[in-house]
Homo-oligomer: A and B are copies of this chain.
Amino acid sequence: MDGTRHNLRVDGPRLWATIQETAAFGATPEGGVGRLTLSAEDGTVRDWFRDACEAAGLEVGVDELGTQFALRRGRDMSRPPIACGSHLDTQPTGGRFDGVLGTLAGLEAMRTLNDAGIETDAPVMVVNWTNEEGSRFAPATMASAAHAGLFTADDILSRRDAAGISVGEALDAIGYRGPETVGTRAIGAFVELHIEQGPILDAEGETIGVVDRCQGVAWYDGTVTGFESHAGTTPMPRRRDAQCGLAEVALAAEAIALAHAPTAVATMGEAVIAAPSRNVVPGRIAFTLDLRDPDQGTLDAMDAALRERIAEIAARRNLAITLDKIWSRAPVVFDAGVVAAVEASTRGLSLSHRRMVSGAQHDACNLADRVPTAMIFVPCRDGISHNPAESATQADCTAGADVLLQTLVALANAPQSGSTSVTGGIDANTQSSAEPSS
């Protein structure tokens, strides 16, 4: 990385203007964005993105699931492109930054390279993945998952929304069923810039999260079954109270997460009493649990501890408690070389930073199964996301885009070898990024 490139900076106001401009496509009265994947508004923002990329001299292709790939040619077109990007779809009541920042910062990086007249060795590319959010079609991050080989294109194309419209039909409706076969687009490395969607950077006053892994997650459906009885006539010792049993399960899950501090988290997000009545002891409750940790061994230990506690609660309270793991995703360790490149770029820009784990799932977590990948986080106010109140500062968005730009250039200009590792100012300790950092 030479001095010229260390001084290279994006045009922060130009990036900010594109974020605000595209927020008009699906703008909500509360100041957020409602731009469900493959909706008319999504078609509009895709057209805008294609036109902007083509105006920047990029070659835009679309695959059969609608994912847009905008390529900037490099000196050595035999090398696979160094890619960045994120998504332009939002939650029904989403904000202006989730996904949008990473995609438009990629465009801004390309514009900056153009303005500086820089040609990279490997080509660079910005990607807009279809349906990251999963609000209209399940699963979330479906296009990047299909790219990584986790689903077939036919499977994804046949998924239907609540109105019965398939992904294929929705792609046709906005003209985005592209000609490229899913998974054939070459990618040499992938870097995704995203707002943190959590409170850590904002609370600790740091600008950049160098994300070296994505935690694993296990989703559970459960039930607590006791016996409905009269709130007035049933003595406490004779009760089989599903609500008190559920309460113990909720607190057990919390205690198990705390026993694996500081990384593990546990959430009982749903709990529904069957036929609730204020003067009836609850007899049956359905609940969900969400357990996450960056380490699979910890997730397995939490699963075992939870089942042991549940068996004890059920036996002591004469309840039947079920717990079914309905979905899980193993932890992902990002590529040490790409992580090091992000960290080196952050240091080169003298930005405050910390290693982080991605608490949420992102397209990058899927890509990591196939290509060297890492992520960059910037703060969002109070950690609020998936909400019209989602907010990030122009300065932080600019800083994140600068790190992204520097990382792309570093990776694209790195000597080609079997490894994606880059050199330059990275000490031995930093290279230990494959080990847990938080």
Contacts and interface: CB of A to CB of B under 8 A. Distances in A.
A396 interface: no
Nearest to A276: B270
Given A238-B199, A288-B278, A251 B262 contact: no
Interface string A332-371: 0000000000000000000000000011110000000000
A215 B232 contact: yes
A28 interface: no
A274 B146 CA distance: 34
A196 interface: yes
A279 interface: yes
Given A250-B243, A267-B281, A292 B235 contact: no
Interface string A262-295: 1011111111110011111110000010101000
A198 interface: yes
Contacts of A251: 244, 247-248, 251
B269 A197 contact: no
Interface stretch (A109-117, A166-174, A253-261, A403-411): A253-261
A279 B271 contact: no
A385 interface: yes
Contacts of A280: 267, 269
A325 interface: no
Nearest to A231: B267
| Total copies of this chain within the assembly | 2
Given A233-B360, A251-B247, A282 B257 contact: no
Contacts of A281: 267, 269
A203 interface: yes
Find the residue from A230, A246, A288, A384 having the highest chain B CB count within 10 A.
Answer: A230
Interface in A164-191: none
Given A219-B278, A248-B247, A359 B290 contact: no
A361 B269 contact: no
A19 interface: no
A231 B278 contact: no
11 contacts: A197-B233, A219-B279, A231-B269, A234-B383, A236-B261, A238-B383, A244-B251, A247-B250, A247-B251, A251-B251, A269-B282
